[in-house]
Amino acid sequence: MKSNKLLNRTANLREPLHHGTSLLFVESIDTTSSGGQMVFHIFGPLAELEHNQIRERSHAGLEAARAIGRKGGRKPKLSVAVIQKAQAMLSEPQNTKTEVARHFNVSRTMLNSALLRLKTVKKSD
């Protein structure tokens, strides 16, 4: 494991150091010496800073996308018109959900979630 990944977990690693345990990294950070402990304690906050900056940039990018009307996530496999056709097919007693799902080339689970989504859309209108 690289030292920067290990240093991301400094909160968990600091506790054993206070009890006399030492760590020896492959990249020659020897925590038994005072210099090694100093390097260890400097890299931890730097790794945390980098992690927070990545998270902030990701959040800002998502906010910018929402501001211009984009939504994240996968596009629905079935359109509203197709879901309505499926609903009409299901209103006939001889059709089962499995048959209707097979007709539209989706799983029964996908058909159920699409039907629920259609109900939600109708309620919000």
pLDDT of residue 8: 53
Q: Is 11 exposed, middle or buried (0-12, 13-18, 19+ CB in 10 A)?
A: exposed
Structure-token pair, residue 39: 């390097």
Check residue 23 and report its DSSP letter: -
111 Cα distance to chain centroid: 24
3-state secondary structure of 79: coil
Q: Is 100 exposed, middle or buried (0-12, 13-18, 19+ CB in 10 A)?
A: buried
- Which pTM value belongs to this model? 0.46
pLDDT of residue 1: 47
Q: Tens-digit pLDDT profile for the chain (125 aa)?
A: 455 555 555 555 555 555 666 555 556 677 788 888 888 888 889 889 999 999 999 999 999 999 999 888 888 889 999 999 999 999 999 999 999 999 999 999 999 999 998 887 666 65
* Contact of 100 with 90, CB cutoff 8 Å: yes
Residues β-bridged to residue 30? 24
The residue with tokens 């909160």 is 11
What residues does each domain of the chain span?
3-67, 80-124
The residue with tokens 């499926």 is 86
Sequence-ordered strand ranges (E) for the chain: none
